[in-house]
Structure 1
């Protein structure tokens, strides 16, 4: 007795066979690439030998007698008597940052935001951005003068003591850098990067290397999106699969006519969109972070509207806005975080109104 396959089943198999083979091939390739690049997983991880890892600097510090203590969670972390390096301070809650920085003898923060600076180093301020390039120290900070030229850029800071055109600044025991590039395996041997990182991190016999990770109770809101913390190799594999799926869908999709457009009966005001974004941050319990994000986004939109470059300093932005609108704008654009949820929503509305006024 024989079993026959229906014509419909055979036709479906023939139609699905090619895209299925392609999808499987892409998936296997993505997995192989991910496993092959496992050393790249873990940006600024002391155990990673990839280009973005930091095994090289950790090894050099150990050879110099510094005890490097990697930490992926703030739970029970005690940096007293040690140098504390926070690789991604924007992920850590303000309370956790204050506790850790107050107990450490010296602190190094990589690309901290204004919210972070307000919490741990009010003498420092975010003053825009700088392109990453080789820069001269231009200051009297011992670590910088000993290192000489180094590859720095990213965030620019304003402070009493700044080096490398503002890409490095200090305030008491806190040192901030606008980029993490000098700490990576790929850039460590460029110019004076190695000397700079070793002097900043090797000041004490013990170095606490804090790399915030998923599940850390010290993250903002208690948790953080896993997409922010996934290694680059896994993200790359997921993107490969997604691209393959889209291509297969476009290849096999039915060829229909053009999409028929229809006017919508309701127009959503820009202010409602801004308020909705603020409510999302508020729901996560990160009012200060929400305010900082809203202000940054508003300033990024105001600069081109005012004919200012992307790295225009706060004073230039404020002066241009006040000249256009005829009213004070510094407190709105660069003021302290709002006191609560209601103040956050008012801030969002005021920023939206200011943008509309500038564009008129």
Structure 2
């Protein structure tokens, strides 16, 4: 009976422990899932998955909540697979969009286009009818004389520094915010170009009118392709060099600077003649140099450095006589000195590799012992 009564509490304790462990596992799992979906996701400029201030996750989420089908294209192949005449292609300029072949493939795709802060090469490939304005637009507070519905609904927008555009060909160009936002029609498609991308980022949507304009521009069609490349594709990925990214004007400026430096060097150069022997102003005897160095050792009480210098000099002078090299170990050197001088090996070891002298008297004695040892080796 006693064994049966003890088994019941153990069973109850195991059941209680099991439920506690299960509850802890559920809590840990929920915490991990929550941390995964709520933790900040880093990424590059205008990355549709990045929640950092320069990412575009907030805009993509808002567009999807308003019924826009968003295709996040990671490469040009995904863009070509998703492109359709009824689809808006958003091309966001990043440092990875540099290959001309990629730009030509983008130019051949159907549908409307929205170019966000394009560089000159991207603008020439996808919107050749435009050119940069004479100056940059700042702020962008109003939308006077702007017939673009998206801008009229958004109102004032805080762009910051931005490029301004004007027509390079004879086209009907709609200009808003001082030319920061323009639109024209070419080959039956609407091409919209905006000279700033900061208002579309996660950090820029909170400013006045920015979110409304970003959603109006990117949500004009029921379906949108977002292409903000985060890695380099095409020939620039493996065969390109840094020189390919340097503008031609910079190359010419560098060549001019090289020519200027060469001319300056020729102008400032002096003719190099033969060597001229000049007498020394003062002749210093070797004994004075040795005495001065010894006084320095003595003033600093550097008996260790002085002893090491004496022993090294003695070994250097005895090396040609004994025939040992720089890599010969101490035991072999001691044996060679002992054989040639007749001095006991222990005495040679103490003299050549012994401890540091404790005072000046021992240092002087060491110098005498080294001199005697060297003399005996020389006479052998």
Following superposition, the deviation at residue 223 of structure 1 comes to 4.8
Q: Which residue of 71, 85, 92 corresponds with 2:90?
A: 85
1:169 aligns with 2:182: yes
Following superposition, the deviation at residue 64 of structure 1 comes to 1.0
**What SS does the aligned partner of 1:199 have?**
helix
CA shift digits 1:264-286 (9 cap, x unpaired): xxxxxxxxxxxxxxx963xx4xx
| Structure 1 pair 128–51 and aligned structure 2 pair: CA distance change class (3 A) | farther
Tell whether the 8 Å contact from 2:140 to 2:178 is kept in structure 1 after alignment.
no
**What SS does the aligned partner of 1:95 have?**
helix
1:320-359 equivalences under 5 Å are 348=252, 352=256
The residue number in structure 2 matching 1:62 is 64
Following superposition, the deviation at residue 151 of structure 1 comes to 1.6
Counterpart-to-counterpart distance in 1, 2:61 and 2:239? 30
1:275-286 equivalences under 5 Å are 281=243, 284=244
Following superposition, the deviation at residue 221 of structure 1 comes to 2.4
1:150 aligns with 2:157: yes
| Structure 1 pair 164–62 and aligned structure 2 pair: CA distance change class (3 A) | same
Following superposition, the deviation at residue 40 of structure 1 comes to 4.0
Tell whether the 8 Å contact from 1:92 to 1:212 is kept in structure 2 after alignment.
no
Counterpart-to-counterpart distance in 2, 1:193 and 1:349? 40
| Structure 1 pair 128–351 and aligned structure 2 pair: CA distance change class (3 A) | farther
Following superposition, the deviation at residue 186 of structure 1 comes to 1.4
Following superposition, the deviation at residue 194 of structure 1 comes to 1.3
Tell whether the 8 Å contact from 1:75 to 1:216 is kept in structure 2 after alignment.
no
The residue number in structure 2 matching 1:103 is 109
Counterpart-to-counterpart distance in 2, 1:108 and 1:187? 18
Counterpart-to-counterpart distance in 2, 1:134 and 1:192? 10
| Structure 1 pair 127–186 and aligned structure 2 pair: CA distance change class (3 A) | same
Following superposition, the deviation at residue 60 of structure 1 comes to 0.9
- Structure 1: runs of 5+ lacking an equivalent: 1-35, 226-278, 298-344
The residue number in structure 1 matching 2:280 is none
The residue number in structure 1 matching 2:127 is 121
Q: Which residue of 196, 199, 202 corresponds with 1:185?
A: 202
**What SS does the aligned partner of 2:122 have?**
helix
The residue number in structure 1 matching 2:323 is none
| Structure 1 pair 101–72 and aligned structure 2 pair: CA distance change class (3 A) | same
**What SS does the aligned partner of 2:164 have?**
strand
Counterpart-to-counterpart distance in 2, 1:158 and 1:126? 6
Tell whether the 8 Å contact from 2:99 to 2:233 is kept in structure 1 after alignment.
no
- The two structures have a TM-score, normalised by structure 2, of 0.48
The residue number in structure 2 matching 1:307 is none
Counterpart-to-counterpart distance in 2, 1:127 and 1:115? 16
Counterpart-to-counterpart distance in 2, 1:157 and 1:97? 20
Counterpart-to-counterpart distance in 1, 2:111 and 2:255? 39
Number of residue equivalences: 207
CA shift digits 1:246-302 (9 cap, x unpaired): xxxxxxxxxxxxxxxxxxxxxxxxxxxxxxxxx963xx4xxxx54xx244x5xxxxx
Following superposition, the deviation at residue 162 of structure 1 comes to 1.6
Q: Which has the higher contact order (CA 8 A, sep 6+)?
A: 1
| Structure 1 pair 64–104 and aligned structure 2 pair: CA distance change class (3 A) | farther
The structure with the larger Rg is 2
Following superposition, the deviation at residue 161 of structure 1 comes to 2.5
Following superposition, the deviation at residue 134 of structure 1 comes to 4.0
Tell whether the 8 Å contact from 1:188 to 1:194 is kept in structure 2 after alignment.
yes
Counterpart-to-counterpart distance in 2, 1:168 and 1:181? 13
Following superposition, the deviation at residue 58 of structure 1 comes to 0.8
The residue number in structure 2 matching 1:306 is none
The residue number in structure 2 matching 1:319 is none
Following superposition, the deviation at residue 129 of structure 1 comes to 5.0
- Structure 2: runs of 5+ lacking an equivalent: 1-37, 168-172, 261-380
Following superposition, the deviation at residue 89 of structure 1 comes to 5.7
Tell whether the 8 Å contact from 2:137 to 2:179 is kept in structure 1 after alignment.
no
Following superposition, the deviation at residue 76 of structure 1 comes to 4.1
Following superposition, the deviation at residue 349 of structure 1 comes to 7.0
